[in-house]
Amino acid sequence: MFYLTEVEDYIRVEPKLFGLPTVESVEKQLKETYVEYYDKEVGKVISVIDVLEVGEGVIIPGDGAAYYRSRFKLLTWHPELQELVYGVVSEITNFGAFIDMGVMKGMIHISQTMDDYVSFSKSNTLIGKANKRSLKQGDLCLARIVAISHKGGELKIGLTMRQPGLGKLEWIKEDQIKKVKAEQKALKAEEKTVKGGKKKKK
């Protein structure tokens, strides 16, 4: 889930940025500080949106940098359990697939890729035994977050595609077409039954 997060903190501005106007130096420092930043509470920082306020600077002896109490806005992404996510398969392994969600990567265990017995082929593809569906690098998918772990200070996201309406986008389209066809067939069968019943009454 994406959020606009307002943060108030002391920002350590390095001496190399001292020649710039204060707000600009704080903004540049924030962008450097929050590149690849992830925090359990805040989430993954996508971008520094705006610097709302910069207070007086404080220099701590022996440091050389200036500290400014600042208020700023961040665009963040915080993974939520049961959240639906789009992604691209970035890697296939013998135990599953890694999906690049744009902001972060998630892992989908081989047993969670589809509702079938799945095997890893020599062509670096995951293939379903009964449905013959295949999952390979570059495939676009819709998955659900089912596990979030912070063990060892590193975020790990577990995904599933076994639920209805999830999976490779091509599979979802195929399933929708099958569903529509099945509904039309059932409707025709019902109409025949109704017409047959009317004839008998006569």
Which residues share a beta bridge with 76? 3, 45
Q: Does domain 2-77 have CATH number 3.30.1490.120?
A: yes
Q: What pLDDT is attached to residue 197?
A: 63
pLDDT score of 200: 56
Residue 202: per-residue pLDDT: 52
Which parts of the chain have pLDDT scores under 50? none
* pLDDT score, position 81: 94
> Are domains 2-77 and 84-171 of this chain identical in fold?
no
Identify which of 104, 128, 14 has the alpha carbon closest to the alpha carbon of residue 68: 14
pLDDT tens profile 34-47: 888 888 888 899 99
Q: Please report the pLDDT score of residue 4 as a whole number.
A: 93
Which residue ranges make up each domain of the chain? Answer: 2-77, 84-171
CATH superfamily of 84-171: Nucleic acid-binding proteins (2.40.50.140)
Compute how many other C-beta atoms are within 10 angstroms of the C-beta atom of residue 117: 12
Q: What is the pTM of this model?
A: 0.77
Strand 96-100 relative to strand 105-109, pairing: antiparallel
Among residues 158, 163, 161, the alpha carbon closest in space to that of 147 is found at 158
In 3D space, the residue among 105, 109, 127 whose CA is nearest the CA of residue 118 turns out to be 127
CA angle 181, 114, 79 (to 5 degrees): 110
Q: What is the residue whose two structure tokens read 């017409």?
A: 195
CA distance 103 to 82: 17
Return d(Cα 160, Cα 174) in angstroms, integer. 19
